[in-house]
Amino acid sequence: MLVAGVSDEEINKITYENVGCFYDLDLFTDVPKEQAGVASLRTLATSITTKAEYRRRYEAASAGSSFTVTIPRGSSGAVEAVSDPPDRGDELR
């Protein structure tokens, strides 16, 4: 935001000061502002599940699995069973 010519005071109002004022909260009672950076908060939040953890769980649960889908074909009502593992290339990135 500095490139746009926004001052630190304006950045603080945009990011957290107005929220604290609106909800009548002191946002830094539990964690001082100096320790409220993203990296610091992530190390404190050990009970929070992250995207990386969900990816690990998904990949562990679906490793080597396959599935069967029955697909109706044509107007005759005939069905065809397909049993192939899905391509999991980039679906979680």
**Tens of pLDDT along 17-73?**
998 899 998 989 989 999 988 889 888 888 777 788 788 888 888 876 665 556 666
> Within a domain: residue 60?
yes
> Within a domain: residue 90?
no
Note down the domain range covering 24.
8-79
pLDDT value for 24: 92
Give strand pairing partners of 81: 70
> Within a domain: residue 45?
yes
For the chain, what is the domain count? 1
> Within a domain: residue 43?
yes
> Within a domain: residue 88?
no
Q: Determine the Cα–Cα distance for residues 83 and 74; give it in Å rounded to an integer.
A: 19
> Within a domain: residue 18?
yes
Full-model pTM:
0.40
> Within a domain: residue 1?
no
How many CB atoms neighbour CB 36 within 10 A? Answer: 14
Per-residue pLDDT band at 88 (split at 50, 70, 90): low
> Within a domain: residue 2?
no
Taking 80 as the threshold, does the pLDDT of residue 12 lie above it?
Answer: yes
